[in-house]
Structure 1
Amino acid sequence: MNSKKVVLITGASSGMGKDAALQLIQEGNIVYGAARRVNKMKSLVEAGGYALEMDVTQEEQIVAGVKKIMEEQGRIDVLVNNAGYAVYGAVEDISMEDARRQFDVNIFGLARLTKEVLPHMRKQKAGKIINISSMGGKVYTPLGAWYHA
């Protein structure tokens, strides 16, 4: 049996997502890194991974990305929902548009992608979903009301 896992990880252009993607590649897995800025995933591609342009707020990009992986690999074994960011500032200074965008990425983006991947994992009768979050729900930082909500 093939021990290589097919992994889709969002937010793979920087930070923990990039580091996790590179580590998973080093361990011999087939890794698709997804992010809005494909040009920032050069090191992932050089390491043997695949870069997908995917804004988790855009349904068509999610559908296309998952379809591409399924066509190329026939399965998705692990989904790592890592895309996210924080808007900081006084509540009254943050526009509702910025607050909505943060929720769209951090909450609904995770839900969109999970909903797209789950049917494939159910059909495979296997799969793991890892949701990367923050301590923001338990530990408050000044001016982080929208992020900690």
Structure 2
Amino acid sequence: MTTKIALVTGASAGIGEAIARALLDEGWTVYAAARRVDRMAGLADRGAHVLGMDVTDDASMTAGVQRILDECGRIDALVNNAGYGSYGALEEVPMDEARRQFEVNVFGLARLTQLVTPTMRAQHSGRIVNISSMAAHIYEPLGSWYHATKFAVNGLSDSLRLELKPFGIDVVTVQPGGIKSEWAGISADSLEQRSGHGPYATQARTLATMLRGSDANSSEPEVVARAVVAACTAKRPRSKYTIGMGAKPLVAARRVLPDRAMDALLSAAFDQAPKLVERRAKRDAS
């Protein structure tokens, strides 16, 4: 084999698009999957095969994987990138939305892993790269469902790494920090919709301000793409790649600080963030 085959989900924008482009640049055959097929025209122009895929729809996932196997006969890397941030007070988030957050961020990832594993076992090779987050180690008010999914992705990935090692399959978790994308704006919109009025409104306004101002101090999506390329190509990839703005210091702090100290650190950051965003806006306007 001179060309490796990769399936990248959530490839219509942001991190997923950057990953697909980086793998194409490395000479991989890339199947770029997302619901918004029209937004992947640029990837198609660069040589990617685009797939309409919804990770909450089993039929679309099954058909997508089968198409790759029919056309290529193998899959060398699955990059589970599809996901979103659902924010709001736990009291106010409908359970249907909580279930959807898990369907997209966890169960879709798990189902695609189920679908590619038999082929990778037969090959006795393969990489499963799960895009998690530094949110798997820290926490914030009004983000309980999102953080719960990322904790789940890390736990699933750690168990799966040992489970699939005897079959020559490597499981890697990539844990980005702040990354410039449309993710923050979408998360802020969901937060304000659910908790922008009522008992949690003050917290919601603060966190929405933080989310919308986060791009100014965030890393480019290409930082994640480089980590994914390393995870897919290294002879012995790391089990976890922690990259992007703020990720390493916050993950390290969580390892060593007791809960009360970590609560104080995160609360202080939460309290100061709106002031920092306001000062930054005034500076940029001057």
TM-score, normalising length: structure 1: 0.96
Q: How far apart, CA to CA, are the structure 2 residues paired with 1:8 and 1:119?
A: 15
Separation in structure 2 between the aligned mates of residue 42 and residue 59 of structure 1, nearest angstrom? 24
* 1:144 aligned residue: 143
Match of 2:131 in 1: 132
Amino acid corresponding to residue 70 of structure 2 in structure 1:
E
Q: Which secondary structure state, in structure 2, belongs to the residue aligned with residue 116 of structure 1?
A: helix
Structure 1 unaligned regions, length at least 5:
none
Could you say which residue in structure 2 is the equivalent of 1:52? 51
1:104 equivalent in structure 2: 103
The AA in structure 1 aligned to 2:110 is A
The yes-or-no answer on 1:9 pairing with 2:8 is yes
5+ residue gaps, structure 2: 149-286
Q: Which amino acid aligns with 1:89?
A: G
What amino acid is the match of 1:120? T
CA-to-aligned-CA distance 1:98-120 (integer Å, 9 cap, x gap): 11001001110011000000001
CA distance in structure 1 between the aligned counterparts of 2:89 and 2:109, rounded to whole angstroms: 26
Within a 5 Å distance, the mapping from 1:12-27 to structure 2 comes to 12-27=11-26
Instruction: Quote the offset at 1:79 in angstroms.
Output: 0.5
Following TM superposition, the consecutive aligned residue runs of length 4 or more in structure 1 with deviations greater than 3 angstroms are none
Structure with greater Cα Rg: 2
Partners of 2:112 and 2:9 lie apart in 1 by 9
Q: Secondary structure at the match of 2:87?
A: coil
Q: 2-side partners of 1:6 and 1:133: how far apart?
A: 22
- The one-letter amino acid of 1:143's match is L
Is 1:121 the counterpart of 2:120? The answer is: yes
Q: Which has the higher contact order (CA 8 A, sep 6+)?
A: 1
- The residue type equivalent to 1:12 in the other structure is A
Compute the displacement of 1:24 (Å). 0.7
Shift of 1:86: 0.9
Q: Which residue number corresponds to residue 61 of structure 2?
A: 62
Cα distance in 2 between the residues matched to 1:46 and 1:26: 13
Query: How far apart, in 2, do the equivalents of 1:142 and 1:112 lie?
Result: 30
Residue 27 of structure 1 and its aligned partner are, at CA, apart by: 1.4
- Distance across 1 between alignment mates of 2:142 and 2:38: 32
RMSD over equivalenced CA pairs, Å: 0.9
Structure 2 length-normalised TM: 0.51
How far does residue 142 in structure 1 lie from its aligned partner after superposition? 3.0
- 2 CA distance for matches of 1:56 and 1:124? 25
User: Identity of counterpart residues, as a percentage?
Assistant: 56
Whole-angstrom distance in 1 between the partners of 2:133 and 2:41: 26
- Greater helix content: 2
Deviations 1:108-147 (A, max 9, x none): 0011000000001111111111011011121223310111
Summarize deviations over 1:57-104 as a string: whole Å, max 9, x none: 111111100110011111100010111111011111211111100100
Q: What SS does structure 2 have at the residue aligned with 1:75? A: coil
Report the equivalent of 1:82.
81
SS at match of 1:24: helix
Query: Residue 12 of structure 1: CA displacement?
Result: 0.6
What does the per-residue CA deviation read over 1:28-65, in whole Å, with 9 as the maximum and x for residues that have no partner?
Answer: 11000111111111111011001101111111111100
Q: Which amino acid aligns with 1:60?
A: A
2:139, 2:42 → 1: CA distance? 34
